[in-house]
């Protein structure tokens, strides 16, 4: 998950815990960090310690490099574009939704307002992407 908001990261982590899901979670704080991780740069040079994720939860509004740019770069990279990217953001702007799908985003979710709703979302994401949908190996 890429999100600059500490509490959102915390709440998401909590939601997964509440839902009793044992997916392994990694967090980064902005687009640049996300790309570093995916390209195994800097702190993330150890491939074994930092495997490519099966799913990316991406916030749109982040400092340094925001989600929109990061999305474009990921989907332009032949080695990375296969990874499903789920936008998870506070913005419900029509423009952001359209642009995200246009740039190759796989889903767009508006961050739910209540925690219980967040739990449901997390459960749904898990069920959909890891049980229903087939991902490339």
Partner 1 sequence: MVYDQSGKILVDTRTNNDNNFINTYTHLLDDNHKPAQTIKINNNIHIHEGYLNGLSLLEVDAKIITEDKFWGTIRYILSRKNLEVQIEQSKQLLRSHLLQNLLVSVSFVILLLTITIIIGTISLRNVVLIPIAKLLNCVRSISSGAANISIKLKNSPPELTELSNAIILMNDTISERNRSLHELNAHLSQAHDKLEQRVKERTAELFLTTEKLKKSNQELEQFAYIASHDLQEPLRKIRAFSDRLQSRCGAALDSEGLDYMQRMINASTRMQTLINELLHYSRLTTKARPFQPVALSSLIKEVLEDLEVRIEENHAHIEVHDLPTIIADPLQIRQLFQNLISNALKFQRPQVEPLIIIKNIHNENDTDFYNIEVKDNGIGFEMKYTERIFGLFQRLHGRSAYEGTGMGLAICRKIVERHEGTITATSEPGFGTTFLIRFPSQQFTAIENQEQKEVQNGEYNDSNG
Whose CA is closest to 80, among 57, 46, 56, 96? 56
Q: Could you give the CA distance from residue 57 to residue 108 in angstroms, rounded to a whole number?
A: 10
Interaction between residue 14 and partner 1 (CB under 8 A): yes
Task: Give SS3 for 44.
Answer: helix
Q: Is 111 in the site for partner 1 (CB under 8 A)?
A: yes
Size, binding site for partner 1 by CB under 8 A: 15
> In 3-state terms, what secondary structure has residue 100?
helix
Q: Which of 93, 101, 109, 127 binds partner 1 (CB under 8 A)?
A: 93
Among 20, 46, 49, 95, binds partner 1 (CB under 8 A): 95
Instruction: Pick the binder of partner 1 from 20, 114, 131, 137 (CB under 8 A).
Output: 114
Q: Are 62 and 33 in contact (CB under 8 A)?
A: no
* Residues lying near partner 1 in the complex (CB under 8 A): 5, 7, 11, 14, 18, 90, 93, 95-96, 111, 113-116, 118
């Amino acid at each position: 998950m890429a999100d600059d908001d500490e509490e959102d990261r915390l709440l998401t982590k909590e939601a997964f815990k509440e839902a009793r899901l044992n997916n392994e979670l990694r967090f980064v704080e902005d687009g640049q960090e996300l790309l570093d991780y995916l390209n195994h740069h800097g702190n993330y040079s150890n491939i074994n310690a930092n495997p490519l994720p099966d799913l990316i939860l991406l916030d749109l509004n982040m400092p340094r490099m925001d989600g929109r740019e990061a999305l474009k770069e990921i989907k332009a990279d032949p080695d990375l574009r296969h990874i499903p990217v789920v936008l998870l953001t506070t913005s419900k702007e029509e423009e952001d939704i359209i642009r995200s799908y246009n740039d190759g985003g796989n889903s767009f979710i508006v961050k739910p307002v209540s925690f219980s709703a967040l739990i449901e979302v997390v459960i749904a994401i898990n069920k959909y992407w890891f049980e229903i949908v087939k991902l490339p190996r």
